[in-house]
Amino acid sequence: MIRLHRVSRSYEGQIRLQADDLLLSTGLTLLVGRNGSGKSTLLRLLATADFPDAGEISYREGSPREQLPLIRSRIGYVPSDVELHEDMTPLRLLKYMCLLKGADPVQADRLLGEFELLDVNRKRIGTLSQGMQQRLAICQALLGSPRYLLLDEPLNYLDSFQRKAVTRILYRHARSCVIVVAAHELSEWNEADQLLWLDEGRPAFYGTPQLWRQTTLRVWQGILPADARTSWKEAYVMVKKPIGNNDLQWRVFGRDCPGPGFEEVGTTIEDAYFIRSRRLE
Ligand SMILES: Nc1ncnc2c1ncn2[C@@H]1O[C@H](COP(=O)(O)OP(=O)(O)OP(=O)(O)O)[C@@H](O)[C@H]1O
């Protein structure tokens, strides 16, 4: 677990993150929020790559003030702008990281296999695609079986197949690890254990995705012509997808059915994000 107590972090005189009391426990926590809401700042603080101006973050091992090397040895971190050693090969990088982290070098081979990087494990990292480099960054974070895994947009550059594979691996690790994942693409994370919404640097929701989806607005979907909207002006439209023949698939939020041709569908975590972040309730 990681506990935040009266934590705040300012940049240029402005508070950018403020968390009074927050307990992050084993499982995968999805961290959501608008651009600039403080997600990367929080992850940097949790990773001990930066420190709060006030308050305290403590880990199962204790406080970073007394136990920094031990805590760091239990952390795996992938920042959003991760840069790997371009001149090394994936295999050399991971073996080297095993030495630094005191991990069994067998882990390097196992992770390269799991992340489908065995074919390129002797190529220069600089020649690998961004998706491969991103997978390698996650591999290095997983070395040493971290107790805390902090990932900033880990699915960046990955195709849909790789996204599924990586999320599956992360869900498996979440059974015994505190994982915090900052993401903008929410549909990938429906199985998250917890969701933490940062609104202008403050936790505005922390709970299960089931609870997150319980909003007072209901979600309605229908396939109707592009000019159909006039009849249900008050409702909020989220998505209009062309279906062909001039029809659109409308996804609408409202307390009541917007009209003929609509049926109620389940609220996804993305729907709830749209409703809550735009304060539609
Ligand atoms: N090193 C820094 N110096 C000055 N301001 C900073 C610094 N790091 C972050 N900030 C500011 O703090 C705020 C929060 O930034 P942060 O990167 O944590 O947001 P974010 O939620 O991760 O955004 P995004 O979704 O765009 O990645 C922003 O206003 C940002 O400009």
Flag whether pLDDT at 230 surpasses 80: no
Q: Into how many domains does the chain fold?
A: 2
Q: Looking at the structure, do residues 260 and 157 belong to the same domain, yes or no?
A: no
pLDDT in tens, 44-65: 999 999 999 999 999 999 999 9
Same domain, 150 and 229: no
* pLDDT score for 268: 94
Using a cut of 0.90, tell me whether the model's pTM lies above it: yes
Task: Report how far residue 57's alpha carbon sits from residue 189's, in angstroms, rounded to the nearest whole number.
Answer: 26
Determine if ligand 1 sits within 6 Å of the CB of residue 185.
no
Task: List the domain range (segments joined by +) for residue 241.
Answer: 218-277
Our answer on whether the CB atom of 156 is closer than 6 Å to any ligand 1 atom is no
Residue where a domain terminates, one of 189, 208, 227 = 208
Instruction: Return all residues near 71 (Cβ < 8 A) that are at least 6 apart.
Output: 48, 59, 61, 62, 64
Give the end-to-end CA distance of the chain in Å, rounded to a whole number: 33
166 near 135, Cβ under 8 Å? yes
Last residue in a domain, options 181, 208, 235: 208
Question: Which pLDDT score, from 0 to 100, does residue 248 have?
Answer: 86
How remote is the CA of residue 40 from the centroid of ligand 1, in Å?
7
In terms of domains, do 203 and 224 share one? no
8 A C-beta contact, residue 37 and residue 273: no
Q: Is the ipTM of this complex over 0.90?
A: yes
Q: Are residues 12 and 61 in the same domain?
A: yes
Residue 179 sits in a domain of what CATH number? 3.40.50.300
Q: Does any ligand 1 atom lie closer than 6 A to the CB of residue 16?
A: yes
Other Cβ atoms closer than 10 A to 103? 20
Do 145 and 167 share a domain, yes or no?
yes
Q: How far apart are CA 154 and CA 257, in angstroms?
A: 38
Rounded mean pLDDT of 74-85? 93
Shared domain check, 174 and 54: yes
Q: How far apart are CA 17 and CA 231, in angstroms?
A: 43
Cα–Cα distance measured from residue 178 to residue 210, given in angstroms and rounded to the nearest whole number: 19
